Structure formats: structure tokens, C-alpha cells
Amino acid sequence: MRLRWLVWLCALVPTVALALTPVTLCPGQNVEPMPDGRMLGHLPYPEANPADLVTIPGDFGVGRPCVMHRDAAAAMAQLLAAADLAPAVKGKLRGISCFRTVERQRQIFCSQIGPKKRCANAAERAKSSGPPGYSEHATGYALDFAIRPLSKGCGDVSDCIAHTPPGQWLLQHATEFGFELSFPPGNAQGVTWEPWHWRWVGVSAAAPGAAAARALFTAARTRFPAQPGIPEVALPPEWQKAIVPAPSPTPIWPK
């Protein structure tokens, strides 16, 4: 029995050593992964298959076209159509950043680290951006919303978006189209509150494409639940018809 335990321990040690080998995220930024596989609080994600990506038509993308996984893009079209029915929101929701390659994420992450830059090191940068290989944007299912025209005193990727009519609309209705807020206030991942960043997982597990999306976000959804989020298990249709929905309260978000 003792020999078996020693064999198991010897086999485990190289694995642990490999998992904790420092990774060079940016020049001069060598970071050791966390024991659970995360990097500075962020979970790892694969880069989407280009064959699964489509460009959302029109001027939805800000600065560059908004590219998303085709299943998420279909849901986005429905979301935007519904948003246009609200006078205070119509035509104002845009996508400032959608799918990003791992290399593109590296540029975004590393460009703000260094002297006279926004962040002193990778750990500080990771509070507001995923390291390359650890961003939901790489999956094609996530995006950052922007508002156009810009709201007075509220720039892009700022939490003040939550206090604008378009931002409030998203907080109250985005889940109806399969989108959930990845980084709510005080999230355990240590990422800043991002009311502009949403990921698509489908309105139910049975929705077309939802199973694949939910598989990618299993760890995030079980360990770091989204808020607003979408329940993993949907009620059977016959049960849903028997339920009278209660009025949705307005979310109370940090001021």
C-alpha cells in the first residue's frame, strides 16, 4: 500500500511542477499559473474555429466589424431587434469588441503595461482584461457593448454604462436572448465589475448551439456564477406555461 502511494506521489509531482511553470504573458511579465489552472484569476479558453465565425451586418461594430460565433450572432440579431422597440435604446447598442484571436488579446493586454502606461504589471492589468489564452472573447461567444452616441460623461468600457437606458435595458433583458453578465459586482475572480461584457450561453440547454457554448463556460458558470445569469436547467415547456411570471425588479447596482 505504501509503495502504491509513493508511485502515485512521484507521478503527481512532475504534473504539479509543469502546471506551475511561469508563463511569459508579455515581455518581462512572467507569471505563474494558479494551482487550479487559472491565470491571475482568469480561466483558460480556446480560440474559436474560424469556420464558426460570422460578421454581424450593418454598423454594429465600433471601429472594426463585430465578429461572433454564428449561434451567438443569431441571438444578437434578436436582441438588437427587441432593443429597437424601446425608444430610449433604439439604435444605441453597438459592439466595441467581439471575437478576438489570442494574438489580438496579447496586444490588448500587453499594450497597457509598463512605465507611463495604465498598469504597472500583468497582475494589475488582469483586473480589467484577460491574459492571452484566458479571455472569453477568444471563444466567439462574448462581446463588449458600447453606446452610440456616447452618453455624456460615460466613455466606453466604463461601469457607468449600467446607469444609462441602454445599459439598464441589457441588465433587465439580455438574459431573455441567452446572454449573461460574466463579471458582476464583487465577483470571486477578482475582475472589475464589467456591465458591458456579456457572454452567450443560450436561453436554455436545448437552444441551438447552447450545449457547445455552455461546455466552454462550465467552470465559469459553476464556480463564478454570472449575474444576471441563466439557470443551467430549464423547466419543461408544460411547466413554463403554468407559471405566471412575476414582475422583474430593477437590479440594484453599485453607484
pLDDT digits over 67-98, tens only? 999 999 999 999 999 999 999 999 999 999 99
CA 194 – CA 125 distance, rounded (Å):
14
Q: Would you state the pLDDT for residue 151?
A: 84
- Whether the Cβ atoms of residue 201 and residue 230 lie closer than 8 Å to each other: yes
Instruction: Give buried/exposed letters for 153-167 (b at 16+ CB in 10 A, else e).
Output: eeebbbbebbebebb
- Whether the Cβ atoms of residue 174 and residue 203 lie closer than 8 Å to each other: no
CA 92 – CA 150 distance, rounded (Å):
9
CA 100 – CA 197 distance, rounded (Å):
13
**Whether the model pTM is above 0.85:** no
Exposed, middle or buried by CB within 10 Å (0-12, 13-18, 19+), for 249?
Answer: exposed
Phi/psi region, residue 27 (left: phi>0; alpha: psi -120 to 50; beta: rest), is beta
Q: Would you state the pLDDT for residue 143?
A: 98
